[in-house]
A and B are shown apart, each in its own frame.
Chain A
Amino acid sequence: QKEVEQNSGPLSVPEGAIASLNCTYSDRGSQSFFWYRQYSGKSPELIMSIYSNGDKEDGRFTAQLNKASQYVSLLIRDSQPSDSATYLCAGPFRPNAGNMLTFGGGTRLMVKP
């Protein structure tokens, strides 16, 4: 099992809809998680951090963490074409390797006008 798993997509949603991106992880000891957005040809950009169970909202973005079920999700409300990008889930896994931040394979989101 991979440490961090995401559906590669593409996930296609119409403009104005809610996009739901999911991520599961294998290390029960992980405490903090991050969502990054990566536009084609660009570097990953941090959009959300979440450290405790429950929801965290920031503008149109909501991150959800469920440690019991070992999943993290990102909801994007009122999706815009400019949200079209690859979204990467990350957490400090691999305790035998210094808990270095490990990324999932990313989900490609396409928002259609």
Chain B
Amino acid sequence: DTAVSQTPKYLVTQMGNDKSIKCEQNLGHDTMYWYKQDSKKFLKIMFSYNNKELIINETVPNRFSPKSPDKAHLNLHINSLELGDSAVYFCASSKARFQPLHFGNGTRLTVT
């Protein structure tokens, strides 16, 4: 009965490839997010998605795109992967925009 689940847990790929990370939440939350945690452990917001409203952190390259087929899912697509994309990506959800986040277990992406 995992609340926020991400797949895959590990993803190793080569530069230039396109990859996706899936996220699902069974908490009935209205808002979902993607965060990137780099090697220095800094957790950086990438996107939030609420009721078909997508909010994008302006520093995120347009190679990254979230896709939400329904309220319980927010997948992350990454095109033309670069070495600097290597990080741990966390999906999260919250009841509403100003409520605390519940995180998934993370996906460790390694680009070689």
Contacts and interface: CB of A to CB of B under 8 A. Distances in A.
List of 8 A-B pairs having minimum Cβ-Cβ separation, nearest first: A98-B55, A43-B103, A103-B43, A100-B45, A46-B100, A100-B48, A34-B100, A105-B42
Interface of A: 31-32, 34, 38, 42-46, 49, 86, 88, 90, 92, 94, 97-103, 105-106
Nearest to A2: B42
A97 B106 contact: no
Interface of B: 33, 35, 40-45, 48, 55-58, 90, 94, 97-98, 100-106
Given A86-B41, A106-B41, A101 B101 contact: yes
Contacts of B97: 92, 98-99
B58 A43 contact: no
A34 B102 CA distance: 12
B106 A43 contact: yes
B100 A105 contact: no
Contacts of A106: 41-43
A3 B16 CA distance: 33
